[in-house]
Amino acid sequence: MLNQLVQDKINEQINNELYSSYSYLAMSSYCESQQFTGCAAWLRLQSQEEYTHAMRLYDFLIARGGRVILQPIKQPPAEFESLTHVFEQTLKQEQQVTAQIDSLYELAFEQKAFAALVELEWFIQEQVEEEKTAREIVHKFKLVGDDPPSLLDLDRELGERRPEAEEPAQ
Ligand code: MG
């Protein structure tokens, strides 16, 4: 059984992951409005992935005899200056999530919530990957600048992303 402090913090992180999902969906809809359907598809998949992160913590809390308490999800930004700006925001968002996961890990460590530590290690690794991917995409947008043919190529490339294979049941 997890103590209340750890439970509250996991509930908070469920909300953070759901916000992240919501925010990526808002970015996706912005890209749709700009006719960059590849970027929109990439961001929609990312939104779905964030939802699975929230559900992973949701299932963990239940498995440990905790209580999931859902909180309101705040409204994400809807307007962006450019595609580069959108992806700069994705990097910033992932850096924030990394800080949130680190702080949750720190609490679980202090509270000797060992099962939570093991669960959170998956998230720590995931954040390394998320930040790396976001950084690479931002770099590409900066290289391309305002060149329309290159932007269209990059949009097409991002549109080729496929959903991650389902992870085997634990
Ligand atoms: Mg996440």
Q: Give 45 Cα–ligand 1 centroid separation in angstroms.
A: 12
In single-letter form, the type of residue at position 41 comes to A
**What's the 51 CA to ligand 1 centre distance in angstroms?**
8
Say what the pLDDT of residue 1 is.
Answer: 78
Q: To the nearest 10°, report the CA torsion of 114, 131, 152, 80.
A: 100
100 C-alpha vs ligand 1 centroid, how far in Å?
A: 10
Per-residue model confidence as pLDDT tens digits over 55-65: 999 999 999 99
For residues 151 and 128, is the Cβ–Cβ distance under 8 A?
A: no
| pLDDT tops 70 at residue 170 | no
Q: How remote is the CA of residue 19 from the centroid of ligand 1, in Å?
A: 10
What is the value of pTM for the model shown? 0.93
CATH placement of domain 4-147: 1.20.1260.10
Say if residues 2 and 65 touch (Cβ distance below 8 Å).
yes
Give residue 121 CA to ligand 1 midpoint distance, Å.
Answer: 13
pLDDT confidence of residue 112: 96
Q: Cα(116) to centroid of ligand 1, in Å?
A: 16
Cβ contact 164:130 at 8 Å: no
pLDDT tens per residue across span 81-133: 999 999 999 999 999 999 999 999 999 999 999 999 999 999 999 999 999 99
Lowest mean per-residue pLDDT among 21-25, 93-97, 107-111, 161-165: 161-165
- How far is 162 from 25, CA to CA, in rounded Å? 16
pLDDT over 90 at 149, yes or no: yes
Amino acid 166: pLDDT: 59
Could you give the count of Cα atoms lying within 13 Å of 161 in the half-sphere of its Cβ? 21
Calculate how far, in angstroms, residue 147's C-alpha sits from the geometric centre of ligand 1.
32
- Give the domain ranges of the chain: 4-147
Q: In this structure, which residues have their CB less than 5 angstroms from ion ligand 1?
A: 17, 50, 53
- Looking at residue 52, its pLDDT comes to 98
Per-residue pLDDT tens over the stretch 27-84: 999 999 999 999 999 999 999 999 999 999 999 999 999 999 999 999 999 999 999 9
Ligand 1 geometric centre to CA of 46 (Å): 9
* pLDDT(144) > 90: yes
Q: Determine the Cα–Cα distance for residues 121 and 101; give it in Å rounded to an integer.
A: 9
The alpha carbon of 52 and the centre of ligand 1 are apart by a number of angstroms equal to 8
- For residue 120, report the distance from its CA to the centre of ligand 1, in Å: 11
Q: What pLDDT was estimated at residue 164?
A: 81
